[in-house]
Structures are given as structure tokens and as C-alpha cells.
Amino acid sequence: MLVKDEQDVYDLLDTLLREPTQFWDSFYKEHKDKDIPFFCDRVDEHLKKYVENKMIERGRVLEIGCGNGRNAIYLAKQGFTVTAVDLSEEAIRWATQQASLQNVEIEFYCDNMFNLKLPHESFDFIYDSGCFHHLAPHQRITYLQFLHQHLKRDGYFSISAFKEHGKYGGSALADEQYYIDRSLHGGIGYSKEKFQAIFHHFKEMEIRDMLHTHLADDEFGLEDFIICLFKKEY
């Protein structure tokens, strides 16, 4: 590959660390009926609180890595206009079926989020439940560009991700080691300080551990996950 510009560099690095689409299709197909924590119909506990406490007002929302659609369906039921994307055809098929059963309208895309052709600054809220920790370090740059491009001024975004050294993943290696190893080691772990450093151009609203005990029957939470909420002010 002849590197001619910045995108060529990103494409080259992607070949080293990007998890293939086939991996996620196989994961959803082979594990759909198994005891995978997030293969449920409950909404993330912090997302429910943001909506009920009116921290997030009804508007246009984009969910990144929607999986079986549980959070997208919740948002649609709450009156949001929802667009949802996932890399896996199996996940989108499952999510579409669930949305139909729940009688809600959601615009689904099966694609890499960075390939989406959506209007600029068209979303009031962008939600990511478990996608960010599967991105290679260099893709954080593109992720930030994506947020700036698609989030409205005074819009919000929220992420839930592995904590460092967590039960379900959360590698805490130096970024360069992932390229040396050519592996994300199951997913990169994050801390409050790392979130603050990466998203320092946004206003911090909340960073905390995800709750995993004393939840309502319709709420989902896992130990060793960290969640954040930021606001775009310009």
C-alpha cells in the first residue's frame, strides 16, 4: 500500500487492528441463545436516568453499535426519532425484528459507523453502548471527528465502555503495544482520566461506574463498566 495522505495512514492501521465484520456476525449468530449479558431487552440504567431526569430532551438520536436494538427501542418508545447502526448483519436483523414486534419505527443501517453518509449536525444525542472500547487507538481521532460532524451544537453524547482491568475486558496496555501485538486483547479499558483527556473539547456532564446492583427490572447494568456523558458547546 502506498501511503499518500492521512486517510491512507488510517486505512493501513485498520488492516492491523480492525475486528472483521465476520467476527461480529458469527458472534451474534452463534451466541444469540446463550447467556450473554447484553442479549436482553433491558435499557442501560444511565440512559433511562438521562431520559427520565430530562438531562436528554426528546429529539433526533443516533445509536452506534445498536446490537439487538434494546436501547434504540427504548428511545423510540420515549418519543425520540431514532437512527441506529451496527456492523453486523445478524445484529441488525435481530434489532429489526424486535422493533417490529414492539411496533416502533427506527431507521437501521448495517455499516461501519465511519462510512455513514448522514447530514451534518443533525443529531441532538449520540449514544454508544459498548462500541468505543473495540476501536483501535487511531480510530479515536476519527470518532472525535464523527462527533463534531454529526452532533448539533448543545447536543450530547454518551459512552459506556470497559473499565481498565475489568471482569469482561479492559486492557490497560500503552497504545503502542496494541500495534506491536496486532491485537486489542478483547477491548481497551478506560478510566475517568482517559475519558477526560480524549474528550477535553467537550463539556463533562458525568463520568462514573455503571450501576449493576439494585436495578429496576427493566434496567441493565454491568460491573467494571464506566459511563460518561458529554455536551458539545460549539
pLDDT tens string 74-133: 999 999 999 999 999 999 999 999 999 999 999 999 999 999 999 999 999 999 999 999
Rounded CA-CA distance 150/119 in Å is 7
| pTM of full prediction above 0.85 | yes
Could you tell me which CATH class the domain 43-231 is placed in?
alpha beta
| Domain ranges, ordered by start, for the chain | 43-231
Identify residue 110 by its one-letter amino acid code: C
pLDDT, tens digit, 9 for 90 and up, residues 186-209: 999 999 999 999 999 999 999 999
